[in-house]
Amino acid sequence: MKKNSFLQLRDLEMAEFVKNRQDTVRTRVESRLRTSEFISNTLELFFPKMADTFTVMMGGEAIEGQHDYPTIDENELALKPDVRHLEGPENRGEIIR
C-alpha cells in the first residue's frame, strides 16, 4: 500500500537529517552538556570555599564542616551528666505570668 505523501515527506526529511546533520548535532549537544556539567561541578566544589573566603574578608568566621559525625553513644559531650540541659517546662517558677 502506498504511503501518504505527507508521511513520505517526513521520512525524507528525517533521512536527510540522519545522513547530513545528526552527527554534528550530537557532537554539539554532547559538548554543551559536558561544559554545563563542568561548570556545575566547579561551582559545587568551589562555591563553599569562595563563600568562606568572602565571609572571612568581611570579618566573620569561616564555616567549618564537622569532620566526624558521632552517634549519640559516641558523643562524649552528650553522655556527661553535668551537661546543662535547655530549660523546659519543668522550670515553672521562672515563667512570667
Partner 1 sequence: MSSHATRYACLPEMEDLEIILAYRERRHSTCFRLLHDRYAARIFSKALTMLRDETQAQDATQEIFTKIFLNLGKFAGTAKFSTWVYSVTYNFCIDKIRKEKRSRELFADELENLPDRAAEEDHAGELANLQVSELRNVLAKLPDADRTLLLLKYKDGVKIKDIALMVSKNESAIKMQLKRAKEKAKRIYGEQYNSSTT
Would you tell me which residues interact with partner 1 (CB under 8 A)?
2, 4-10, 12-15, 17-18, 21-22, 24-26, 28-30, 32-33, 36-37
Min CB(16)–partner 1 separation in Å: 8
- Amino acid code (one letter) for 62: A
Min CB(26)–partner 1 separation in Å: 5
- In degrees, rounded to 5, the angle at the alpha carbon of residue 29 between the alpha carbons of residues 27 and 32 is 110
Question: What's the rounded Cα separation, in Å, for the pair 26 and 63?
Answer: 42
Among residues 8 and 75, whose Cβ is nearest to partner 1?
8
The cell for 82 is 553535668
